[in-house]
Amino acid sequence: MYAGGVYCVASMSTLSCSGWSDIASLVWQHAKAEVVLEALRGNKDTLGWPSEDAQDAMVREVFEHTKDFPVSLRYLKHLLKLLRHDIESSSSQDASATMSDAFCELYISSVTAATKSLEEDGDDEAFFTYVLPSQEKVALRVQRAHNQVGLRAWEAGLFLADLSLSPSLSSLFAGRCVVELGAGVGCTGLLLAKELPVEKLVLTDLPQEVLDNLEHNVRLNGLDTNGQVIVKQLDWKAVDTEFVTEQEPLLARADVILAADCTYSVDCCFSLVNTIESLLVASTSSSSSSSSSSTSSSASSSSSSSTTTTTPPTSSSSPLPLPELIQNTPLALVASTLRNQETMDTFKHTLSTNTRLRWNDVTAWANEVLGETQKFVYSNRSNIRLFLVQLAPP
Ligand SMILES: C[S@@+](CC[C@H](N)C(=O)[O-])C[C@H]1O[C@@H](n2cnc3c(N)ncnc32)[C@H](O)[C@@H]1O
């Protein structure tokens, strides 16, 4: 158990919540207010919520951090109203349970500011803070008012971070060059780079606002923009192997390619698959990754070359052995939330008809690695699919 909490997939409640650090982590990730309240009530280490001592501790342990990294105003207002209601309902049974001065002050200032700002339609910028297994915090700025999908954290991005940080997978990233496509606010790559000794992380995306926000998040978390972590503009529609090899030597070094929730429309499937292919081809032929030839046939028993069938291969129910994955770099891990069956089918069909690639649906394996718990607050896990993409044997 670590300070960031471990969440039950079904209820999103913390399992054996260990005190204020877990309550704080729930709030900083914008967990449902009802879940926060349930954790407060069920936790012996929270000084008997809603006692005044507990309220004071809550203000200190949870809301000091949000002065620098504010949660969304809408969320804050809803949460504080629910907590106030809980305190007031308890006080009808127990006169000693009244609002503490510190809670009252927080409530008045926050709810007043939130109401004013929401009236002006100002609930734009907010921070999501994630506590890693090492207890390091990663704060990510999201900007909801912009009509940009890359300015918020998506479920599959957190799923991929969750999985990547699991002990069985983390060695895949140590000392490797990781390239993330469509990195958005950085919820996969930055959580990974803050926790694991990646040699290089190249975060890519397209719109300038998304890249600016990504740069901001890299700096905010003390990850040097010109060193270990680099932000780069990369348009999937403009990528081919020659372009990567000649103009983007850094991308041509990719050992591991990540993409989360990048298959959200039929339109982007072809260019995304094409980009993955170009990066895998470039990195396989580049000297830095020549040792990681993807021609090993060790995984082929459970995979199919895309030339042999148009029916997407599926993984067996038993998890793929991890060493096999590691030996078979360079590889791409693509996590996608199933929102629209046609889009998912188009993505799989595009993979299947690309003769240079082979792929596996490794969702069952990923879920076996994670079990019934998750390290971060995200929903929809049963709809997230994970695909492992490699070059097909020549
Ligand atoms: C749904 S968001 C997912 C963001 C992030 N991976 C996550 O999980 O939170 C999809 C991302 O793909 C990016 N994207 C869409 N089309 C792109 C293209 N042609 N080239 C590069 N990035 C693109 C978007 O800007 C956005 O950041």
Determine the pLDDT at residue 290.
46
Q: Which is higher by pLDDT, 193 or 1?
A: 193
* Order of strands, sheet of 200-205, starting from the edge strand that comes earlier in the sequence: 229-233, 200-205, 177-181, 256-260, 331-337, 384-391, 357-361, 304-305
Percent of the chain with pLDDT over 90: 63
In this predicted structure, the answer to whether residue 323 has a pLDDT above a threshold of 60 is: no
Give the pLDDT band (50/70/90) at residue 257. Answer: very high
Alpha helices in 174-265 (DSSP H): 189-195, 208-220, 241-247
Q: What mean pLDDT do residues 187-200 have?
A: 96
Burial class from Cβ neighbours inside 10 Å (0-12, 13-18, 19+) for residue 101 reads exposed
Both structure tokens of 298:
């060790």
Ligand 1 pocket member 262 (CB < 6 A):
yes
pLDDT of residue 292: 40
> Please, what's the largest Cα pairwise distance for the chain?
76
Instruction: Using the mean position of ligand 1's atoms as its centre, give its distance from the Cα of residue 351 in Å.
Output: 18
CA distances from 383 to 164, 180, 213, 338 (A): 18, 21, 28, 5
Tell me which residue has its CA closest to atom 8 in ligand 1: 157
Whole-number pLDDT of residue 33? 96
Tell me what the mean pLDDT of segment 9-35 comes to.
82
CA of 272 to the centre of ligand 1 (A): 10
What are the C-alpha distances in Å from 206 to residues 20, 155, 235, 369, 377?
39, 20, 6, 32, 26
Q: Which two tokens stand for residue 285?
A: 């032929």
Give me the pLDDT at residue 322, please: 57
* Ligand 1 atom at minimum distance from 151 CA: 27
Q: Whose CA is nearest to atom 27 of ligand 1?
A: 150
pLDDT, tens digit (0-9, with 9 covering 90-100), for 145-156: 667 899 999 999
Q: How far, in Å, is the centroid of ligand 1 from the Cα of 100?
A: 45
The residue to mutate among 147, 203, 206, having the most atoms of ligand 1 within 8 angstroms of its beta carbon, is: 206
Report how far ligand 1's centroid is from the alpha carbon of 161 (Å).
Answer: 16
Q: Are 362 and 388 in contact (CB under 8 A)?
A: yes
Q: Please tell me the residue having the least CA distance from ligand 1 atom 11.
A: 182
Q: Is the CB of 184 under 6 A from ligand 1?
A: yes
Q: Rounded to the nearest whole angstrom, what is the distance from the C-alpha of residue 137 to the centroid of ligand 1?
A: 24
> By percentage, how much of the chain surpasses pLDDT 70?
82
Nearest-CA residue for atom 12 of ligand 1: 182
How far apart CA 130 and CA 116 sit, in angstroms, is 28
Atom index in ligand 1 nearest the CA of residue 180 equals: 6
Ligand 1 pocket, residue 205 CB under 6 Å: yes
Instruction: Indicate the range of 3-12, 226-235, 308-317 predicted with least confidence.
Output: 308-317
Ranking 65-69, 208-212, 223-227 by mean pLDDT, the lowest is: 223-227
* pLDDT(171) > 90: no
For the Cβ of 127 lying below 6 angstroms from any atom of ligand 1, the answer is no
Ligand 1 contacts CB of residue 264 (under 6 A): yes
Q: Is the pLDDT of residue 73 over 70?
A: yes
Average pLDDT over residues 35-62: 89
Q: Which atom of ligand 1 is nearest to the CA of 152?
A: 9
Tell how far the Cα of 148 is from the centroid of ligand 1, in angstroms: 9
- Ligand 1 centroid–CA 245 distance in Å is 22
At which residue do the structure tokens 């342990």 appear? 61
pLDDT band at 324 (very low <50, low <70, confident <90, very high): low
pTM for the complete prediction? 0.89
Q: Is 182 in the pocket of ligand 1 (CB under 6 A)?
A: yes
Q: Ligand 1 pocket: which of 213, 262, 271 to mutate (most atoms <8 Å of CB)?
A: 262
pLDDT tens by residue, 269-317: 999 999 999 999 999 887 444 444 333 333 333 333 333 333 333 434 4
Whether 4 lines ligand 1, by a CB cut-off of 6 Å, is no
Q: Which helix (H) or strand (E) holds 111?
A: helix 101-119
Cβ(235) – ligand 1 distance below 6 Å? yes
Give the sign of the dihedral formed by CA 265, CA 316, CA 303, CA 333. Answer: positive
Mean pLDDT for the stretch of residues 41-62 = 88
The answer to whether the CB of 271 is under 6 A from ligand 1 is: yes
For ligand 1, the distance from its centroid to the CA atom of residue 322, given in whole angstroms, is 28
Looking at residue 243, its pLDDT comes to 87
Residue of 190, 205, 237 to test ligand 1 pocket, by largest number of atoms within 8 Å of CB: 205
Asked whether 150 lines ligand 1 (CB < 6 A), one says yes
| 220-229, 337-346, 373-382: segment of lowest average pLDDT | 220-229
SS3 assignment, position 303: coil
Kindly write down the DSSP assignment for every residue of 60-84, as one continuous string: HHTTTHHHHSPPPHHHHHHHHHHHH
Taking only the tens place, the pLDDT of each residue in 153-168 is 999 999 999 999 998 8
